[in-house]
Structure 1
Amino acid sequence: MKSLRFKKLWLVSEASRAARSVEFNPKMTLLVGKNHTGKSTLVKHIFKTLGCETKGKTDRWDNLAISVLRFDLDGVDYLAYRRANVFALRNESTGTMKVTTKSSEWSEILAHLFDFRLMLPTHQETLAQATPPFLFLPFYFDQDGSWQKQWNSFDKLTQFSTWQKPLTSYVTGQRPNGYYLAKFEETKAKAEIGKVSHELGVVQAALVRVKKALPRVTVRMDTGAFKQEIADLLRNSTQLKQEQESLRSKAFELASVKESLSTQIAMAKDALRDLEGDLKYLTESKVDPTLLCPTCGTTHENGFPIRLELVDDAVTLRKIAAELESERQKVDESLAGIQGKLNRVKLKSLEIEKTLQVKKGALRLQDVVDSQSSEVVRGAFTKDMDSLKKQLAKHEELSADLKDKAAKFDVPERTKEINAFYAERFELFASELGVQDLRDDVKKKPDAGITASGSALPRSLLAYQFAVLHTAKEKGDAKIFPVVVDSPNQQGQDAEHLSQMLNFIVKRTPAGQQLILAVEERPQGLPFDGTVIELTTPYGLLDATLYDEISDELQNLVDAVAEGVNVRLANQRIEVLQDTSE
């Protein structure tokens, strides 16, 4: 199992030049603050930094703020960084860093780090790697969603279909990593089976059509050296044709780009012409505070600021037009290069035809192809079909093996044992929280739905989630992750029930797992062995007096991330240039 501890969270807003850092106790941290003091914002940013999209909106918050989370994973410190769509992970022991601007790449980085291989069904009926929210769902109670229904702490979960049952099976250990890896590979093998089967069918149908179209054999030749010569010429001719088609395609694409740029240039010049006319009119007109438009009769302000704005707009339009002209020139150069390549290809094709005529007199390339077509084509198709049939058999065998491998993880006795453990814990926790009249299926299976109402709903959900956490620790190969609970005072809990819930959370957090608990008021008599952090200023989570200190503390990391992003963009430009040159 992976053991995770949150150690410190930094939040920095460059827009408001304010910041905050919070250190978490390795055992328990109690965040105390009224509404709008930022306790939920702080908690949400733990998971936002790790790539999750939390529920609810954060009032007066800078969406471009930097968040950095220090955490310990199996004794190794890491720093996770996020700003908008820029993610980074640095191993503090080795100094190695991974930077990405793609959420899919970030998901794979965390999946590898946490050995998280849950595969979930997509809407395209395939399996895909589960994203970070599914890694942290069992351990986070969000105030805006978790107290209304199960597994509701994060947004953007609907990219997968029917994910609740697979997630529950994974967390509780009924279907561990090995099962989902095998199912994922089986899905890939099945996709290859479909692909190869389709290709085989296309080849077989093509052979039937080609046989009907092939000319009768009128020339019989002793192939020998001539056969090899013809084969070489055919191969060269085919390659030249492919190259010619590729060049024509690129030329068409560039011509479309050029046409688009020309249209944009014309639009920019028209707009500039109109703008310069307006500016001339305003400059030559009398200096009046207002000006009547001779065209539409509308009254406009007439003063130096207005003319200055028009001048700025004109400068901007000239710059845009110049940039577009530069882009069009580059496209023209690329088109000229492609045309040169097309001419060279044409010359090579003519040379092949000339060589055939010189060596074999009046016997043209087409004559040779026609005379040998039946045997050559039939042999080529047979060879392709044999190859595809071998591939198909290989993928079918692999799919069957993977299906058997996945089936070995589905052990009814183990599932029964896990469900029994869950049922025992859920009934115990429900009684401790004063929850009654729950359906039998909810008590017996962790994938059943909670349907309580009123103030009993949050307590039912709390009992359920903690029963899942205990089952995961005892029976699953899931994770020893921090348990984060935000604002359990939901759905009108009275003082007695709220005290009951808070004491339960502290008492029943699985041994060895860190607890971060956010509440509006510090509870009296709560046996809390940890750190208490009080937030008192409405909309004052970030402190301007801490900005310089925290910015300096994070500067090395911020610079390293910026360098990583620049390297990534440079590599992408190189790839684009390489594709263009090819």
Structure 2
Amino acid sequence: MPNLVFKRLTIASDILKSANQYNFKPRFNLITGNDNSLGKSTLAKLLFWTLGGDPSLDFTWQSFDVRALVDFTIGNVEYQVGRYGNAMFLRRPQGEWERFQKITGEYSEAFAEIAKFGALLPNRKETTKLETPPPAYYFLPFYIDQQRGWSQAWNSFPNLEQYARWQKTIIRYHTGYLLPEFFSIEEKIAQSTLEKKNAESDVRKIETAIEVVKAYIPTNEKTVALTSSEFDALSAEVNIEIFKLQAKQEELLRMIAEIQTERVFLQGQLDLAKLASAELEKDYTFSVECVIGETLICPLCGTVYDNSSPNRASILADKDEADNQVQALTTKISKLEKKYIQSQERLTKTRSEIDIINSKYNQDEFSSELDAELKSEKTSFLDSLASRSVQKHVKQTMETKTAFICNIDRTNRILKDNQKKLLSKEEREEMDAAFKDNLAKYVSELKAQGVNLSPIESPMDYKKLYGSGGAAESTRGILAYYMAVLSQIYAAKNKVFSAVIIDTPNQQEQADFNYEKILQFLMNTIPSDVQLILCAMNRNEIETYKQSAHVIALDDDKILSRTKYNEFRTILNFDDSI
């Protein structure tokens, strides 16, 4: 499968009237400078940011209102992706610019199609809805962020919690434990599970209908005592006389049951809408009265939230929408109440008409046999017939729905068995063994034997990776893990293999192990057809790598240059061409 290779990054800030363009070579690249404040990490992050990866950019860059364009190839095919704010722009070979209003959704699907990234994750709110995750989930194993990636693997991008428990699925897919066919089956399971969920909802409504019928018309003992054939014969005889009234009563009972069910549902929605309106009111008050500036940092997770005027206005817009929902739901419930009262009145009238016939029927057939106690019974014999008829009908429907649910359960079990058969136990064990062998080999090459590998059985065990030889040795253990994962990904060929970007390998000042040897290890370990982009300070230890690499040397002008604004700004007019 071909690889993704970065060719060019073009960036501009209209606020600063500055711009620049950076080219990259297919093999080794170095972003360097004489100190840590020139923007090496930011330049690397902008590659991912432009493609929709959303790494952590500092407040300064967020204020520059940057637009950017990345040219990249997959095999011999060239693509362009532009970004301005959260709007994404994509141009495929010989195609026109396509505009996407946001990163998630259609753009994520388009990028995943290009990168052959087939992973799907369940929506956090609707678990039966599978989604293509944003590009950050594709780039995760190919990027080591200077601040986040060296402390824990699979952590170089923030805000991944939009999907619950994503790690197992994403890691297993990247490393070949989940094949693309797994997700084709997963979609079928999700669809049938949604159908099951709807059927279960229907069953609950049916149960509510039965309870309503029982509440309005208690069962008569005479009716219960009848056999099925006796009941059917008696029902046919009586229905000749009161067929229309009985059908009308059944319809009214059904309608009342539906109204009550819908009223309960709408009331729940109304309660949620009121709660959302109240919470948004609190959010807006907090953003105006308690937050200084246009950003807010979460004290727990460190996530930066936008508190600008447009964002506060969006909170008010959301509150207005919630208030509109409250008003609409209140109106619907009010209409249901009126409909419910009218249905009750019609039911009372219909039952009165039935009572008249019922009295005549009882008098004609049983007047000589009924004693005073039976004559005083409040439960009509004909009402009981109607009740039993309604219950018989809805129970038949419920049996059909229940059988449908059981059939879905059987189908899902078969589908899940087919998923397990995509990769045999022996194949999984071979992959585990290959990963552990590579990890042990890389740990040895990096002289990180203080890292305890005994708990590590597969790429999923990254949180168990720790060492006793000090911070520098633990960092080399993390690097060994990343390289073992990349070897597994390269062998799996589940998707396009991306360029690898490593931000500052010299973590924890590798004085106890030659930094130059770490760079040599990377040059030897990264597959020969894969692009490698390193960020590193300009020092003697990087000379060997520097001689083999295309060098981007940043100076005091940092990333953007005022003198290049007119030259490169016109390249970034992708939004004007749509």
Q: 2:430 is matched with which residue?
A: 417
Residues 373-392 of structure 1: matches in 2 within 5 Å?
Answer: 373-374=386-387, 377-378=390-391, 380-392=393-405
- 1:215 is displaced (CA, Å) by 9.2
Alpha carbons of structure 1 residues 454 and 227: separation in structure 2 relative to 1, 3 Å:
same
Per-residue CA deviation, residues 319-355 of structure 1 (Å, 9 max, x unaligned), is: xxxxxxxxxxxxxxx9xxx9xx99xx9xxx9xx99xx
Task: Determine if contact 1:419/1:445 at 8 Å carries over to the other structure.
Answer: yes
Give, in whole Å, the separation in 1 of the partners of 2:28 and 2:432: 29
Task: Determine if contact 2:218/2:384 at 8 Å carries over to the other structure.
Answer: no
- 1:536 is displaced (CA, Å) by 0.8
Q: 1:178 is matched with which residue?
A: 181
Alignment equivalent of 1:501, drawn from 518, 537, 557: 518
Task: Determine if contact 2:213/2:387 at 8 Å carries over to the other structure.
Answer: no
- 1:138 is displaced (CA, Å) by 0.7
Q: 1:407 is matched with which residue?
A: 420
Q: 2:407 is matched with which residue?
A: 394
Residues 7-86 of structure 1: matches in 2 within 5 Å?
Answer: 7-33=7-33, 34-55=35-56, 57=58, 59=60, 61-62=62-63, 64-86=65-87
Per-residue CA deviation, residues 389-419 of structure 1 (Å, 9 max, x unaligned), is: 2421331122112111121134221122112
SS of the residue corresponding to residue 460 of structure 2 reads coil
Alignment-mate amino acid for residue 138 of structure 1:
P
Task: Determine if contact 1:451/1:457 at 8 Å carries over to the other structure.
Answer: yes
Alignment-mate amino acid for residue 170 of structure 2:
L
Q: 1:210 is matched with which residue?
A: 213
Q: 1:309 is matched with which residue?
A: none
Q: What is the root-mean-square deviation of aligned Cα atoms in Å?
A: 5.1
SS of the residue corresponding to residue 526 of structure 1 reads helix
Alignment-mate amino acid for residue 535 of structure 1:
L
Alignment-mate amino acid for residue 24 of structure 1:
F
Runs of 5+ in structure 1 lacking a partner?
Answer: 261-333, 357-361, 364-368, 561-582
Give, in whole Å, the separation in 1 of the partners of 2:388 and 2:396: 12
Task: Determine if contact 1:27/1:514 at 8 Å carries over to the other structure.
Answer: yes
Residues 307-322 of structure 1: matches in 2 within 5 Å?
Answer: none
Give, in whole Å, the separation in 1 of the partners of 2:12 and 2:439: 41
Q: 2:154 is matched with which residue?
A: 151
Residues 196-345 of structure 1: matches in 2 within 5 Å?
Answer: 196-204=199-207, 206-211=209-214, 213=217
Alignment equivalent of 2:465, drawn from 438, 442, 450: 450
Give, in whole Å, the separation in 1 of the partners of 2:105 and 2:507: 34
Alpha carbons of structure 1 residues 380 and 20: separation in structure 2 relative to 1, 3 Å:
farther
Give, in whole Å, the separation in 2 of the partners of 1:534 and 1:519: 10
Give, in whole Å, the separation in 2 of the partners of 1:161 and 1:556: 35
Q: 1:516 is matched with which residue?
A: 533
Q: 2:439 is matched with which residue?
A: 426
SS of the residue corresponding to residue 63 of structure 2 reads coil
- 1:515 is displaced (CA, Å) by 1.3
- 1:436 is displaced (CA, Å) by 1.4
Alpha carbons of structure 1 residues 498 and 13: separation in structure 2 relative to 1, 3 Å:
same
Alignment equivalent of 1:532, drawn from 542, 551, 557: 551
Aligned residues: 485
Identical pairs, percent: 26
Residues 344-363 of structure 1: matches in 2 within 5 Å?
Answer: none
Task: Determine if contact 2:52/2:136 at 8 Å carries over to the other structure.
Answer: yes
Task: Determine if contact 1:41/1:58 at 8 Å carries over to the other structure.
Answer: no
Alignment-mate amino acid for residue 402 of structure 1:
L
Give, in whole Å, the separation in 1 of the partners of 2:26 and 2:575: 24
- 1:136 is displaced (CA, Å) by 0.8
- 1:143 is displaced (CA, Å) by 0.9
Alpha carbons of structure 1 residues 416 and 542: separation in structure 2 relative to 1, 3 Å:
same
Runs of 5+ in structure 2 lacking a partner?
Answer: 223-233, 278-327, 351-355, 358-381
**What TM-score results when the alignment is normalised by the length of structure 1?**
0.67
Task: Determine if contact 2:28/2:532 at 8 Å carries over to the other structure.
Answer: yes
SS of the residue corresponding to residue 100 of structure 2 reads strand
